[in-house]
Structure 1
């Protein structure tokens, strides 16, 4: 310790200071805590590729049955997209680029797969293994956040000391029962590989599987089944909520949870500049306790190297509320090891004023 500091991270900050965590390896590596006189997000302007973005996915049109996911952010390991489906398409889809993780933001329907069907509703995560023939058969207009593990697999994380039943018991994970279709006709399967579509036509229904066995299958789990890990006396980092892992990225879920009750402890996220990962958050529902001006269906993108943390109004709101209470929010956090690039579709729905949202009102 040097100078004026707290004895422990995220608690009892020296009077008149804000805390910043300068850490490596996400929140798992070496770190120092810097006690500053001013929030490190109190800039006048940011110019260049590290400028933070807020994307309003609600501005993307609801597409018809021919739609494929619209990529918003990409790197060599993953593709983050918005997928809107208004009805069941006449064709089936097979993603040969990687495992596909779908988060249901709006709508209801059935994920039809060759393993069998999975009914979906808002708040569902649907994992579709690479190369699985499937179709999103929407019965109500559906908006999905899509995360593709390019060339890799998506799985559950090692829970470590918490044990394998932390966050959610694997027993709540649903896998499909076979529902074979024995039909003749012309059936089209569109296969995505390296960004290009190959069309395959069959004289029989492609979902004709009468049985399956093994440890590779589509799955469904809903955020309402989550039991978040919390502490009344310590503000846990986002990594405590890690839900899925892929090559070069992790996905965490911020679910409704009690806030810290110790009056000395930070209740909003500490300022940080996780230098090893880009951070993406998709806001599904609720009141997002660390943000102001962010609506349901928006997505924020904070590149590595630039500070981020709570906006001034969120800090004041937390201070006025006092210890305790609840974070009534559901959001999906994606941390990517390699730099993400904003696509043209992402740029088109980016709020140009977001970078100035940390200014003092």
Structure 2
């Protein structure tokens, strides 16, 4: 593929920027398609005002810690036809069983411990766990401690990423995945199953316990994966794009996980994310733990949302502090969506109105 070079530019992206410039990546297809790197005299986030819907957004999801609708189901904050992102707070076991018929359901445990009971058997959970439920799985959440979840519902199935040259054992090895063993219930009584499909709820009652599976086989099952079992890829001389931290793919959505890792140490390498206008994807980041090195004023339990079309990149304070850090202790979940998201009333209600102005500090 031909690459053109004009004016003052570096021969290697993200390394050895021309003095007095900042680098912006203008790319297609996430970070996989064609791209150009523009070397600017000023940061493209150095705006003085934004009038319109494409401003960067931040939501304080901690304000939704009582999250639950009339049936104590997850509360969505950002949605499109492919993905529903929300939060779910529970302090006691669900009094009914639930089945999502619209897609796979991924629960990220921000806080809490307990048991996720499923058709395939139970899974214990704790902070930092991804709990993945294939479409149509019957389950019940039974917390033993106050539980707060990020919910990611995708119409496409959750799959591992293509690890390419890294090999199948990179990022996460199949052996760290926790798969349930059967725990059949042979009980009589009155048991309710709630099925969610196209935004509507259907209630089905049984005279026997719905989780009565005595055995199963196959490669479609509920499973758990903890963020600290991920093995991040890093480079001392080159700032890797977020796609290097891909954990799952689901059609028009990608789930990435940022976990503690060393930063670049080469003197001419970027240490903070490069400015970019990821024109084909909305970018959402949920902050779980630690000090996220590219953001100022964002705390665990918050979420940021950068719509496709407008620039985003590190905060000025992060750029100023980059030289003093050689390690990051963050844990964060990033969801990129191919089609634009919309905020629900619940999400809009916890938005930090002045987040877009934080780059002006």
Q: Which TM class, normalised by the smaller chain length?
A: over 0.9
Partners of 1:166 and 1:61 in 2: CA distance? 35
Residue in structure 2 matched with residue 233 of structure 1 by the alignment: 237
Structure 1 residue 52: Cα displacement:
1.1
Asked whether 1:80 is paired with 2:85, we answer yes
Partners of 2:311 and 2:229 in 1: CA distance? 33
Asked whether 1:174 is paired with 2:178, we answer yes
User: Is 2:160–2:249's contact at 8 Å kept on the other side of the alignment?
Assistant: yes
Asked whether 1:102 is paired with 2:107, we answer yes
Residue in structure 2 matched with residue 4 of structure 1 by the alignment: 8
User: Is 2:67–2:87's contact at 8 Å kept on the other side of the alignment?
Assistant: no
Structure 1 residue 62: Cα displacement:
2.0
Residue in structure 2 matched with residue 141 of structure 1 by the alignment: 146
Residue in structure 2 matched with residue 35 of structure 1 by the alignment: 39
TM-score (norm 2): 0.97
Paired positions, count? 356
Structure 1 residue 66: Cα displacement:
3.8
- Two-structure CA RMSD over aligned residues (Å): 1.0
Partners of 2:188 and 2:46 in 1: CA distance? 64
Partners of 1:145 and 1:84 in 2: CA distance? 9
Asked whether 1:213 is paired with 2:213, we answer no
User: Is 1:110–1:117's contact at 8 Å kept on the other side of the alignment?
Assistant: yes
User: Is 1:63–1:86's contact at 8 Å kept on the other side of the alignment?
Assistant: no
Alignment gaps of 5+ in structure 1: none
Alignment gaps of 5+ in structure 2: none
SS in 2 for 1:240: helix
Structure 1 residue 86: Cα displacement:
1.2
Partners of 1:66 and 1:176 in 2: CA distance? 27
Structure 1 residue 63: Cα displacement:
4.6
User: Is 1:78–1:149's contact at 8 Å kept on the other side of the alignment?
Assistant: yes
Deviation string, structure 1 residues 287-311 (Cα, Å, up to 9, x no partner): 1000000000100000001000000
Partners of 2:162 and 2:29 in 1: CA distance? 16
Residue in structure 1 matched with residue 195 of structure 2 by the alignment: 191
Residue in structure 1 matched with residue 291 of structure 2 by the alignment: 287
Partners of 1:21 and 1:259 in 2: CA distance? 20
Residue in structure 2 matched with residue 201 of structure 1 by the alignment: 205
User: CA 1:309–1:170 in structure 2 vs 1: closer, same or farther (change >3 Å)?
Assistant: same
Residue in structure 2 matched with residue 223 of structure 1 by the alignment: 227
Partners of 2:67 and 2:53 in 1: CA distance? 30
> 1:230-309, aligned counterparts within 5 Å?
230-309=234-313
Deviation string, structure 1 residues 63-115 (Cα, Å, up to 9, x no partner): 57941111111111111111111110110100001000110000000000111
